[in-house]
């Protein structure tokens, strides 16, 4: 008789764990408290589902700032190329977009979800939705059962916890598993929001004068109280009614959270460089050349197209420059101020949106207490963790889902092999 593996959580990690455990000889039951599986997967990548990233392994790990080195072992079992081969083997054609991001050719996350569910069903996994877990039961050495909130007790030879973190709670990620892990003797490292919009109380944010303005291919930096750069990210960003968002802001967010805590300060400085590939002096010379070529043109018209118009008007206001005046009436020092503003527009961030509004949870079950080659607990035999419940997080761009699929497959394979040997 096949031995029994219970997977808790029907997100990317849980679905992949169910498939791998069943493929490796186990009888699998998949429990999820929601009414349907793959909810977070269905909204990922803006509804297109960025299934992985085709970077080479070292670059991939560099894009996983939260314990990326731990991923060397799971990637040795099931890496990004394996994920691509897995989906293509199930008939989903993939395409590569900018920065290595892989999407289904039809741009539909629902196709990814339905294909995974079809594979789960084909492997005769027992799926139980609307099933909430109360707790896990352990004896001295190992996990032995799952207790449901309705009082039912299901015996298990192995349990795979794939319940997610605390981000995007409407998909079912509400931090349920942290107490179960603690009961087994695991440490839960401090939880914090990552890949989350950044907040600011600056006057220009409160007045919403830049709300909705996007800046393309900029550098965004987090600056410590001594004026040193903590982290810089390139990419696009957008001003919002509460602060900033967009890929560059999301990637900087965890450094804002950590800096506010480390330096015990209420705000942390951020810089925007609108021209990251151009030195400030060259920018200044370009502006002077424009002035010489059209000296009588108003400064505002001379700078049209140099930066987005709303940012231009904002900048002139901030620098107290009358844009209606002829360009040649401004001193070189004032033109230099324009170049400087474009290279390092500075503002204060005071935090981020809440962990529930974050795309990803930082912190979780300590990876020091999990065996990286199998994802099995070092505290209790037969207990496995995978996905966002672990203290592992990457940037947006397919890195988190890659970790989920990789750790999920590794946990499922290991659990399947473990129970099949009994």
Q: How far is CA 285 from CA 175, 276, 278, 279, 280, in A?
A: 55, 16, 11, 10, 9
Rounded Cα distance between 156 and 89, Å, is 31
Residue with the two structure tokens 């399947």: 416
Residue with the two structure tokens 């987005």: 308
Residue with the two structure tokens 């101020």: 337
Contact between residue 384 and residue 415 where contact means Cβ atoms under 8 Å apart:
yes
Tokens read off for 144: 């032995």
Q: How far is CA 24 from CA 81, 124, 386, in A?
A: 20, 13, 17
Rounded Cα distance between 140 and 397, Å, is 42
Beta bridge partner(s), residue 159: 6, 383
Residue with the two structure tokens 């429990």: 31
Residue with the two structure tokens 């707790």: 135
Tokens read off for 192: 């914090």
**What domains are defined for the chain?**
4-189+364-420 (3.50.50.60), 197-352 (no CATH)
Rounded Cα distance between 254 and 410, Å, is 27
Q: Where are the beta strands (DSSP E) in 153-276?
A: 153-155, 158-161, 188-194, 198-199, 214-223, 229-239, 243-245, 268-273
Contact between residue 55 and residue 102 where contact means Cβ atoms under 8 Å apart:
no
Rounded Cα distance between 259 and 236, Å, is 22
Q: What pLDDT score does 173 carry?
A: 86
Rounded Cα distance between 245 and 196, Å, is 8
Rounded (5°) CA angle 158-159-164? 155
Query: Tens digit of pLDDT per residue, the chain (422 long)?
Result: 447 999 999 999 999 999 999 999 999 999 999 999 999 898 888 889 999 999 999 999 999 999 999 999 999 999 999 999 999 999 999 999 988 999 999 999 999 999 999 999 999 999 999 999 999 999 989 999 999 999 999 999 999 999 999 998 888 889 999 999 999 999 999 999 999 999 999 999 999 999 999 999 999 999 999 999 999 999 999 999 999 999 999 999 999 999 999 999 999 999 999 999 999 999 999 999 999 999 999 999 999 999 999 999 999 999 999 999 999 999 999 999 999 999 999 999 999 999 999 999 999 999 999 999 999 999 999 999 999 999 999 998 899 999 999 999 999 999 999 998 87
Evaluated on CA atoms 310, 321, 283, 272, the torsion sign reads: negative
Q: What is the DSSP letter of 369?
A: G
Rounded Cα distance between 390 and 161, Å, is 10
Pairing assessment for the beta strands 198-199 and 188-194 based on DSSP bridges: unpaired
DSSP for 3-21?
A: PEEEEE--SHHHHHHHHHH
């Amino acid at each position: 008789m096949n031995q029994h593996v219970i997977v808790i959580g029907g997100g990317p990690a849980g679905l992949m764990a169910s498939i791998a455990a069943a493929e490796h000889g186990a009888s699998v039951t998949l429990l999820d408290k929601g009414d349907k599986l793959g909810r977070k997967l269905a909204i990922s990548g803006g509804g297109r589902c960025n299934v992985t990233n085709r970077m080479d392994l070292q670059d991939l790990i560099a894009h996983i700032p939260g314990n990326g080195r731990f991923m060397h072992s799971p990637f040795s079992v099931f890496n990004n190329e394996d994920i691509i081969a897995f989906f293509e083997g199930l008939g989903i054609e993939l395409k590569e977009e900018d920065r290595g991001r892989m999407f289904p050719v039809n741009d539909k996350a629902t196709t990814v979800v339905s294909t995974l569910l079809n594979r789960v069903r084909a492997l005769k996994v027992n799926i139980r939705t609307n099933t909430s877990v109360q707790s896990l039961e352990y004896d001295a050495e190992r996990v032995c059962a799952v207790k449901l909130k309705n009082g039912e007790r299901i015996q298990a030879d192995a349990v795979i916890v794939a319940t997610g973190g605390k981000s995007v709670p409407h998909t079912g990620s509400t931090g349920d598993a942290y107490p179960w892990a603690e009961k087994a003797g695991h440490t839960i490292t401090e939880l914090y929001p990552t890949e989350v919009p950044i907040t600011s109380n600056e006057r220009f944010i409160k007045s919403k004068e830049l709300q909705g303005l996007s800046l393309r291919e900029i550098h965004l930096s987090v600056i410590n109280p001594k004026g040193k750069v903590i982290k810089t990210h390139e990419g696009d960003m957008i001003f919002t009614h509460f602060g900033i968002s967009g890929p560059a802001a999301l990637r900087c967010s965890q450094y804002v959270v950590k800096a506010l805590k480390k330096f015990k300060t209420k705000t942390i400085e951020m810089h925007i460089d609108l021209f990251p590939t151009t030195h400030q002096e060259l920018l200044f010379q370009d502006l002077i050349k424009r002035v010489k070529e059209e000296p009588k043109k108003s400064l505002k018209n001379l700078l049209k197209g140099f930066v987005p118009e709303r940012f231009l008007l904002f900048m002139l206001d901030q620098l107290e420059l009358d844009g209606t005046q002829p360009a040649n009436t401004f001193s070189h020092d004032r033109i230099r101020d324009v170049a400087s503003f474009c290279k390092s527009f500075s503002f204060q961030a005071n935090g981020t949106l809440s962990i529930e509004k974050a795309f990803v949870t930082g912190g979780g079950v300590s990876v020091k207490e999990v065996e990286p080659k199998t994802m099995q607990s070092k505290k209790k035999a037969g207990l496995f963790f995978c996905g966002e419940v672990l203290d592992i997080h990457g940037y947006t761009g397919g890195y988190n889902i890659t970790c989920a699929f990789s750790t999920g497959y590794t946990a499922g394979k290991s659990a399947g092999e473990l129970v099949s040997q009994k």
